């Protein structure tokens, strides 16, 4: 139990830093409404990452059931948290003066953002495999479809600036994440 609490605190710090970055960026938009050219796809990804961070933190309560911790599992969870923070930080730069607005910034940094998103889902696979055969059996086939779809779509998003693709991807991402939470993670225990 003490090990779990230690890990939970460290993951909580990383999730908290990510949430802080997202909220600080959102507050800047509210405080200075005319300063930045807002782009709804960017804001939708902010919403997705916010929801994903909250879901990750909620889901990690399941770690309490793990009785034998390894450094590999610890490392993978910390890496997961670091990537979530990176994803959050990539959405709001410290300074936008080199860009025409959030649309210009978003597409210029899409390789980093979607590369990080794909990496998160790859790390999630390792996280899942490390937790053992019983856990793997219990998650069902939807998990693999979800992870595979997000990795493939993120890799396509790295390559394309096609706005229609990015609009559809973010709407799909948010809708699926909400559905996933409501169906599979709404209640613990």
At residue 189, the pLDDT reads 59
At residue 1, the pLDDT reads 60
Nearest alpha-carbon partner for 149 in 160, 157, 139: 157
Tens of pLDDT, residues 132-181: 777 778 888 889 999 999 999 999 999 999 999 999 999 999 999 999 98
The whole-model pTM stands at 0.92
- How far is the C-alpha of 145 from the C-alpha of 52, rounded, in Å? 17
Q: What is the mean pLDDT of the chain?
A: 91
Are 48 and 174 in contact by the 8 Å Cβ rule? The answer is yes
Q: Which residues of the chain have pLDDT under 50?
A: none
At residue 188, the pLDDT reads 62
Tell me phi and psi for residue 34, to 5 degrees: -90, -10
- How far is the C-alpha of 11 from the C-alpha of 6, rounded, in Å? 9
């Amino acid at each position: 139990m003490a090990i779990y609490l230690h890990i939970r605190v460290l993951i909580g710090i990383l999730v908290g830093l990510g949430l802080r970055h997202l909220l600080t960026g959102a507050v800047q938009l509210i405080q200075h409404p005319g300063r930045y050219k807002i782009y709804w796809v960017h804001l939708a990804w902010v919403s997705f990452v916010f929801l994903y961070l909250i879901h990750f933190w909620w889901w990690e309560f399941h770690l309490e059931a793990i009785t034998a911790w390894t450094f590999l599992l610890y490392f993978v969870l910390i890496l997961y948290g670091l990537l979530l923070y990176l994803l959050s930080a990539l959405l709001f730069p410290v300074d936008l003066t080199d860009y025409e607005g959030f649309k210009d910034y978003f597409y210029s940094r899409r390789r980093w953002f979607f590369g990080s998103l794909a990496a998160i889902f790859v790390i999630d696979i390792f996280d899942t495999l490390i937790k053992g055969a019983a856990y793997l059996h219990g998650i069902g086939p939807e998990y693999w479809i979800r992870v595979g779809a997000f990795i493939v779509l993120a890799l396509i998003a790295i390559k394309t600036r096609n706005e229609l693709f990015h609009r559809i991807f973010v709407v799909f991402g948010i809708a699926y994440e909400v559905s996933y939470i409501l169906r599979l993670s709404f209640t613990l225990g």
